A and B are shown apart, each in its own frame.
Chain A
Amino acid sequence: MIKVEHLSKHYGQAKAVNDISFEVVDGDNLVLLGTSGCGKTTTLKMLNRLIEPTSGQIWINGQDITSQSPELLRRGIGYVLQNTGLFPHYTIVENIAVVPSLLKWDKQRIKNRTQELIQKLHLPDDVLQKYPHELSGGQQQRIGLARALIADAPVLLMDEPFGALDNITRAKIQDDFKTLDELQRKTIVMVTHDVQEAFELGDQIAIMDQGRIVQQGTPAELLFKPASRFVSDFLQSQRLQLELRSVNLNAIASALPDNIVGAQEAASLNGASSIWQAMEVLKDARHPVNVKLADGTLKAINFTDLMLAYESYQNQAKA
C-alpha cells in the first residue's frame, strides 16, 4: 500500500505540488491525470525519491520511504519512462538485467526470469542480443516494462509509459498491459495526460490541476459525480465514450428487462462487460442476446433494452 500525506514540492515561489494526500491500496492502479505542468510527474518522482519533497511524508507498505537509502528504495520499485530510458550501450538482455545485477542475483536466475518475461510480453527471442536502437518503438517500450518487472517489485511507477507510441501500437500494448498476470497483483501509480488511457487502465483516477488533486475516485465516480466544474469540463469532450466504456452491465442490471430466452443458450455477454462492448455485440444481432450477471441470473437483451437501461442508470447516478 502506498500512503501519501500533505506532500508538497516548491521551486522558489512556484508550488509544483501543493499539499496533496492520497492512498493506493494493494493491487490497485492509480492514475494521476492532468495537463502538462499540473504536478503529476513531480508527484510520481517523489514516490521513488528522484525528487525530494519540500514537505510531507510517504509510506510504502507501512515503511517511511526516507528510512532507507534512495538506491535501495529504488531497487524495490519498478519504473517505466515515456522514452524508455534504455541504455543505448547495453544489449537488451543487459538492459533487462540492470536491477537484478544490482541486487546480485545469480546468472541462471536472471536468465530464467528474462526468458519468462520475454514470452509473457510477446517478444521474439532474437531481440535479446540486439541493441535498443535496433528495435521498434513498441518493442523498446515492452523491454522497458520487462526491465521494471524483472525483480518482481510489488510497486510499479509509470511515467506516461505509452505516450511516445502511435495509436495502434499503444492500443496493443495497453491490451497486453490489462491482461498481464504480473500486473494484476502490483500496486501501480501511473501518470498520463491521456483521458482515455486513464479510464481504460485506472482502478482509481486522481485528476490534478496546479499542484493539487482536484478529485480522486473510480472512473464512474468522476463521470457521474464530478466534484467540481473543472472535473466535468475536463472530461466533457469525450464524456459519452468514457461513460459507455466505464459502466458495466452489472451496474445497470436492475434496469434491464427480465425476459429470458432459452436457458440452454450460452451467455455471450457477462456482467463485467462494458456498455460499449455490449453495444458492439448487439448492434449486428438479429435476436436478443443472453447476459450472465454477477448474481448468476441470465437476462436476454437487445440494443434498445440496453440504451433504455443506460438512460435510467444515468438519471439515477446524477440524482
Chain B
Amino acid sequence: MNGQQTLWQFMQQQSGKLLTQTVEHIGLTFISLLIAVVIGLPLGIFIARKKQFSGAVLGIAGVLQTIPSIALLGFMIPLLGIGPKPAIVALFLYALLPIIRNAFTGITGVNPSVKEAAQAMGMSAWQILFKVELPLAMPVILAGIRTATVINVGVATLASYIAAGGLGEFIFGGISLNNSNMILAGAIPAALLAILFDLALALLQKISFKKLKFGLYAMLAIAIVLAALYLIPTSSSSKLTAGFTPEFMGREDGNLGLQKKYDLKIHTIVINDAVMYKAAFEKEIDVISGYSTDGRLKAYNLVVLEDDKKIFPPYYAAPIVRQDALQKFPDLEKALNMLSGHINDSVMTDLNYRTDYLHQTPERVAKDFLVAQHLYKPATAGKSGTVRIGSKVFGEQYILANMYSMLIEGYTPYHAATKTGLGGTKICFDALTNNQIDFYPEYTGTGLLVLLQPNPAVLQHIEADKDKTYQYVQQQFIKRYKIQWLKPIGFNNAYALMMRKQQTDKLGIKTISDLKRFLDSEQ
C-alpha cells in the first residue's frame, strides 16, 4: 500500500503528471493575467482620464471580485462549457480589479505639476501618457499586477473543478482520496509558484525607471511564452470524452479499475462533481463517474451503464459515530437507527432530485419525507447537550443530516447542530476523529477503500459483497478509530458510469463492456 510512501517518492513517481499540472497551472495564470493586463490597463487609464466612469468601472470589478470562485466557475459552464476557456475567463475577471485600480491610482497619483510641465513643453496627450504618466505610475501598476498574479495562482487551483487542469487536480484529488502526499504534491508547488512570481515581480518593481521599460517588455515576452505553453492543444484520439472526478481518477474502484479490468481507453478530463452532471447534459463530456442515487441522474436524463465486471463495490450509507459520543448521548443510537430500512435507491434518487432539480431546500425535503413516513415529531425543548452532525458537501448528505437533526430533536432530549458542507471524505473524517463533530453519514465502500485501504488479498475476499464489506468496516473502525458504524440506511450510492440516455440509445450502449467495444471500434 502507498500509505507509507513519502512525499518525495510520490512526487517522483508522479513527476510526469506533476510537470504537466505545473505547466498547466502557470499557463492558466499567465494567459488570464495577460488578458487582464491587456484589458485592465487601458481601462484604468481611461477612467483616470474620465473620472466620471471610475465609480462604475471599479464598482463592477469589485463585485466580480466578491463572487465566490466556485460559483463563478459554475456560472461559466452554460456560457463557455468546461475546460480552460471558462477557467481563463474566471481568472481574468479576478485579476481585473487590482490591475484596473492600480492603473487608476498610479496615473491619477502622478504629480500634477509634472503633468502640467509636460503639457506646457508641447507634448501631445499620447506623449504625456507614454513618456510621463505610465513610467511614473509603473511601480503602482506593477504592484497591481503582482497582486493579481498571486490571486490567480491561488484561484487557478480551482480550475481543476471544471476540467481545466492545474495543480488543483492533485490538491482536490488528495482531499477526496485522503492522500496527504497528493495534497502536498499539489499545494507545495502552487505555494512555491505564488512566492516565486511574487518575488520576481517585486524585483521588477525595484528596478530603476530606465530598466523598467526593458523589464516590462521582458515580462510581457515571458508572459506570452508561458501563456503559450498552455495553448498547445491536447489532442483526443477517441470520439467520446469522459469527465471523472479527481477522487474517481485515483481509485482502485474507479478509473484504475476501469483500465485494469475493462481495459477502457477513453480520453479523460478531470472535473468536479458539482459541475460534472451539467457538463454531461450540455454535451461537453459524454461519460461521467456519477453516483447511482444522484438526483441529477433523473434531472438530466442520464442512464447508468451496467457494471458487468463488478468493479464498483457497494456503497451502503450508514451513520458513523464516535463511541464516546454514543456513551455521552445514550439515546442517540436509537434515534439514528430509526431511518434504517426507510430509504432504498429509488427513494434516495427521488429525494436528491427534489433538492438538485426542483430546488427544494434539504430541510423541506427531509421534513416532507419524515412526515410521510410518520417519523416526524416536533422538536422537544430538551437541553441535555448538543449533538454535532457533519455532512459532506453534496445534496444527499445535506438531506440525511437534516433528517438526523429532526429525529434527534424530536425523539431525544438533545439539541442538534449541523455542520454541513465539509469538503470531502478526508475533511469530514478528520473532523470526526478530532472531535469536531459527533457523527456523519458515510458509505461502506468509502470506508473500505478510502479510509481503511486494506491490502489486495482482503479486498479480493470481501469486495462486491455488501454484507462482508459492512462487517469488515464495522470491525476495523472500532478497532482502529473507536468509531461505530450504525445500521445501514438501506440505499446503495455506488459509483457508476453514466451517459446521456439519448446517446446510449443511439450507440446501443448498455454496459461498460459495450462502451469499451464501441471505443475500440472507433479506433
Of A84, A88, A99, the residue contacting B121 (CB under 8 A) is A99
- Kindly list chain A residues whose C-beta atoms are within 8 Å of the C-beta of B124: 71
Known contacts A87-B132, A89-B135, A89-B136; decide if A147 and B121 are in contact (CB<8 Å).
Answer: yes
B122 touches A87 (CB 8 A): no
Query: B120: CB under 8 A from chain A?
Result: yes
Interface segment, one of A72-80, A225-233, A271-279: A72-80
Contact: A84 with B113, CB < 8 Å? yes
Contact A88 B136 (CB under 8 A): yes
Contact of B120 among A50, A82, A83 (CB under 8 A): A50
Count, A-B residue pairs, CB within 8 A = 62
With A87-B132, A89-B135, A89-B136: A81-B118 Cβ-Cβ less than 8 Å: no
Question: Interface code A109-135, partner B: CB below 8 Å = 1, 0 otherwise?
Answer: 000000000000000000000000000
CB-based contact B113/A74 at 8 Å = no
CB < 8 Å: which of B114, B119, B135 contacts A74? B119
Contact with B along A22-63 (1 / 0, CB 8 A): 000000000000000000000000001010000000000000
Q: Given A81-B113, A84-B113, A85-B114, verify A48-B123 contact (CB < 8 Å).
A: no
| Chain A residues whose CB sits within 8 angstroms of the CB of B120 once the complex forms | 48, 50, 74, 77, 79, 81, 85, 157
- Does B465 have its Cβ within 8 Å of any Cβ on chain A? no
- The distance from the CB of B397 to the nearest CB of chain A, in whole angstroms, is 59
In Å, the complex CA distance between A285 and B267 comes to 109
A75 touches B122 (CB 8 A): yes
Asked if A86 and B135 sit within 8 Å, CB to CB, the answer is no
Query: Count the B residues whose beta carbon is within 8 Å of the partner chain — how many?
Result: 19
Verify if B522 is at the interface (C-beta below 8 Å from A). no
Decide if B117 is an interface residue (CB 8 Å cutoff): yes
Q: Determine chain B's interface SS by DSSP, over half rule.
A: helix
With both chains docked as a complex, state the minimum distance between the C-beta of B62 and any C-beta of chain A, in angstroms: 31
CB distance from A1 to the nearest CB of B (A): 21
B171 nearest CB across to chain A (Å)? 43
Residues of A contacting B505 in the complex (Cβ-Cβ under 8 angstroms) = none
Q: With A87-B132, A89-B136 in contact, do A81 and B123 touch (Cβ < 8 Å)?
A: no
Output the nearest chain B residue to A48 by Cβ-Cβ distance. B120
B353 to chain A, nearest CB (A): 65
B121–A75 CB distance below 8 A = yes
Nearest CB in chain B to that of A89: its residue: B209
- Cβ of A98 < 8 Å from any Cβ of B? yes
A71 & B123 in contact (Cβ 8 Å cutoff)? yes
Contact of B117 among A73, A76, A77, A85 (CB under 8 A): A85
| Residues B114 and A87 in contact, CB atoms below 8 Å apart | yes
Which residues of chain B are within 8 angstroms of A84 by Cβ–Cβ distance? 113, 117
Question: Which residues of the partner chain A approach B114 to less than 8 Å between Cβ atoms?
Answer: 85-88
Residues from chain B with a CB closer than 8 A to the CB of A72 are 122
User: Counting CB contacts under 8 A, is A319 at the interface?
Assistant: no
24 contacts between A and B (CB under 8 A): A48-B120, A50-B116, A70-B122, A71-B122, A74-B120, A74-B122, A77-B120, A79-B120, A81-B113, A81-B117, A81-B120, A83-B111, A83-B113, A84-B113, A84-B117, A85-B111, A85-B113, A85-B120, A87-B117, A87-B131, A88-B111, A89-B135, A147-B121, A157-B120
Residues of A in contact with B (beta carbons under 8 Å apart)? 48, 50, 70-77, 79, 81-89, 98-99, 102, 147, 157
Q: Apart from A86-B114, A88-B136, A89-B210, list 16 A-B contacts with CB within 8 A.
A: A50-B116, A73-B122, A74-B119, A84-B117, A85-B111, A85-B113, A85-B117, A86-B117, A87-B118, A89-B136, A98-B118, A98-B123, A99-B122, A102-B121, A102-B122, A102-B127
